[in-house]
């Protein structure tokens, strides 16, 4: 056990597994013989509100709140900005790449329907646009105008469309294009200006690839384990804690952990 004290700020929004990530790191640190002090704020976590956990790991008990963080681990990139006061030039920032876009931002998206739309109607059917389903009563009568319909054999979007993007994902002809690139680039670029030690990890995407979308927090844990060197938290202890906490999904969670370890050096800025 080393004689160091490190401060870790975990940040995300409700439902992303921040508290589970905190539990994993705490258990690994305790098993390695450290004292762990923590404080959580998750007032709006049931409604996608911000969640933070202050974790302080060392050889003796300290005040639970962090002044400056040695590590900021953010499961959503905007949460890095929200917690900028905790960042110093020595802070290693590990951030998820993909932002969660709030509904108010959807409205600024540009949607284009290309000529490859053949009017198949999948996007406006009951397995398509959720707003259309919501605006029909159980007998199929429209309660308000639909969000989308077919006009002259092509998809036409109406005022009720929330620009959620679901139709883009299910269109078999790739006829719908929704532009979010400006928003995504802005946030990642701005992170580059506030930290010299920035590690952007596409954790949600990696978790999807291994068919365990809930494991994005484990990917981030793998990245953290690789970067932390002062505490020297053993890899084997990390794997044992993951195995004990997720007995039914051991394989995919260990894979997520390994992906985080592998990607952190590739994705550093
Ligand atoms: S946009 Fe795509 S899913 Fe919708 S009607 Fe056209 S081809 Fe079908
Ligand atoms: S963007 Fe969303 S709300 Fe608009 S038509 Fe497509 S699925 Fe419906």
Contact 84/142 with Cβ under 8 angstroms? no
DSSP 3-state of 136: strand
Ramachandran class of 261: left when φ > 0, alpha when ψ lies in -120 to 50, beta otherwise? alpha
Question: In degrees rounded to 5, what are phi and psi of residue 40?
Answer: -115, 145
**Among the bound ligands, the one closest to the CA of 123:** 1
For ligand 2, atom 2, the nearest C-alpha belongs to: 164
* Ligand 2 site, residue 155, Cβ cutoff 6 A: no
Q: Read off the pTM.
A: 0.71
CA of 186 to the centre of ligand 2 (A): 24
Task: Write down the pLDDT at residue 212.
Answer: 93
Ligand nearest to the CA of 167: 2
Residue 123 alpha carbon to ligand 2 centre in Å: 8
Helix crossing, 235-245 with 216-227: angle to 10°?
A: 160
155 CA: nearest ligand 2 atom: 5
Structure tokens at 62: 């300290």
Ligand 1 close to Cβ of residue 175 (< 6 A): yes
- pLDDT, residue 227, reads 95
Strand order in the sheet with 71-74: 35-41, 50-58, 6-13, 71-74, 92-96, 198-201
Q: Please give the Cα distance from 204 to 111 (Å, whole number).
A: 24
| Structure-token pair, residue 207 | 């978790």
Q: Separation of 240 CA from ligand 2 center, angstroms?
A: 44
14 within 8 A of 45, measured Cβ to Cβ: yes
Q: Give me the residue label for tokens 């020297």.
A: 232
User: What token pair was written down for 117?
Assistant: 């739309």
Give me the numbers of helices (H) and strands (E) for the chain, helices first please.
Answer: 10, 10
The reported pLDDT for the residue numbered 141 is 83
Tokens of 109: 């998206």
HSE-up of 81 (CA within 13 Å, CB side)? 12
Is 122 touching ligand 1 by the criterion CB < 6 Å? yes
Judged by phi (left if over 0) then psi (alpha if -120 to 50, else beta), residue 174 lies in left
Atom 3, ligand 1: residue with shortest CA distance: 171
- Ligand showing the shortest atom-to-Cα distance for residue 175: 1
**pLDDT lower than 70: segments of the chain:** 1-3, 42-48, 101-106, 180-186, 265-269
The residue contributing the CA closest to ligand 2 atom 8 is 129
Q: Is 111 in the pocket of ligand 1 (CB under 6 A)?
A: no
Q: Please report the beta strands in the chain, taking only residues with DSSP state E, as ranges in sequence order.
A: 6-13, 35-41, 50-58, 71-74, 92-96, 110-113, 148-151, 154-157, 176-179, 198-201
d(C-alpha 217, C-alpha 260), whole Å: 9
Give the pLDDT score at 169: 84
127 token code pair: 């397995």
Q: Whose CA is nearest to atom 6 of ligand 1?
A: 117
**Residue recorded with tokens 């550093």:** 268
- As a residue count, the chain comes to 269
Query: What distance in angstroms lies between residue 115's CA and the mean position of ligand 2's atoms?
Result: 18
CA of residue 165 to ligand 2 center, whole Å: 6
Residue-level pLDDT at 117: 97
User: Cα of 146 to ligand 2 centre, how many Å?
Assistant: 10
Nearest to 148 by CA among 127, 121, 171, 169: 121
**CA 27 centroid distance within chain:** 22
pLDDT per position as a tens digit, 44-84: 545 557 889 999 999 988 888 999 999 999 999 888 988 99
């Amino acid at each position: 056990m080393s004689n160091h004290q490190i401060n870790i700020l975990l940040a995300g929004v409700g439902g992303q597994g921040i508290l589970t990530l905190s539990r994993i790191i705490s258990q690994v640190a305790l098993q390695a013989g450290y004292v762990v002090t923590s404080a959580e704020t998750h007032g709006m976590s049931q409604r996608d509100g911000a969640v933070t956990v202050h974790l302080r790991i060392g050889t003796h008990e300290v005040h639970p709140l962090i002044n400056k963080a040695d590590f900021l681990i953010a499961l959503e990139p905007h949460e890095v900005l929200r917690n900028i006061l905790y960042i110093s030039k020595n802070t290693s920032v590990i951030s998820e790449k993909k932002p969660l876009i709030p509904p108010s931002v959807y409205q600024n998206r540009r949607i284009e329907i290309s000529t490859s739309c053949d009017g198949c109607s999948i996007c406006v059917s009951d397995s398509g646009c959720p707003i259309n389903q919501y605006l029909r009563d159980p007998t199929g009568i429209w309660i308000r105008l639909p969000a989308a319909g077919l006009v002259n054999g092509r998809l036409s979007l109406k005022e009720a469309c929330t620009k959620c993007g679901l139709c883009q994902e299910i269109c078999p002809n790739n006829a719908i294009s929704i532009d979010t690139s400006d928003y995504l680039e802005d946030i990642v670029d701005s992170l580059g200006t506030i930290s010299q030690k920035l590690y952007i990890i596409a954790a949600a995407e990696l978790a999807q690839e291994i068919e365990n979308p809930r494991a994005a927090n484990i990917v981030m844990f793998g990245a953290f384990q690789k970067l932390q060197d002062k505490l020297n938290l053993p890899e084997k202890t990390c794997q044992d804690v993951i195995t004990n906490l997720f007995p039914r999904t051991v394989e995919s969670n260990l894979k997520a952990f390994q992906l985080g370890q592998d990607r952190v050096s590739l994705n550093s800025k």
